[in-house]
Amino acid sequence: EVQLVESGGGLVKPGSSLKLSCVASGFTFSSYGMHWIRQAPKKGLEWIALIYYDSSNKYYADSVKGRFTISRDNSKNTLYLEMNSLRSEDTAMYYCAKEYYSLYVMDAWGQGASVTVSS
């Protein structure tokens, strides 16, 4: 069974940094692209980043480009999202998700990690 477990969320002040992790199991992690998606309170889903299976390509939403970095360690079956210069509008539940056969859809999601940016 595919499982994705996010961690590293919390309450931080504006301008600070935070790094999320997503540990994957139940599939060959090194063979699949991975996404980060977020959902602000009472809002819809916002895709924020994708990394290819071999880290050869990375894509970002404009809202996070230059501030967030997606990375992965295939030896640890772990996906990361490093978030810098955090703003109040980055407050959201952050989900990692598995890419489905390079179709740019997500066929497995984690339960999410909560990030609150507030002074």
Partner 1 sequence: DVQMTQSPSYLAASPGESVSISCKASKSINTYLAWYQEKPGKTNKLLIYSGSTLQSGTPSRFSGSGSGTDFTLTIRSLEPEDFAFYYCQQHNEYPLTFGSGTKLEIK
Does position 97 interact with partner 1 (CB under 8 A)? The reply is yes
Does position 107 interact with partner 1 (CB under 8 A)? The reply is yes
Does position 100 interact with partner 1 (CB under 8 A)? The reply is yes
Does position 68 interact with partner 1 (CB under 8 A)? The reply is no
Among 1, 41, 44, 56, binds partner 1 (CB under 8 A): 44
Closest approach of partner 1 to the CB of residue 16, in Å: 25
Q: Which is nearer to partner 1, 4 or 70 (CB)?
A: 4
Q: Which of 64, 34, 40 is nearest to 114 (CA)?
A: 40
DSSP letters for 52-110: -TTSS-EEE-TTTTTTEEEEEETTTTEEEEEE-S--GGG-EEEEEEEE-TTSS-EEEE-
Return residues touching partner 1 (CB under 8 A).
Answer: 4, 35, 44-47, 50, 59-62, 95, 97, 100, 103-111
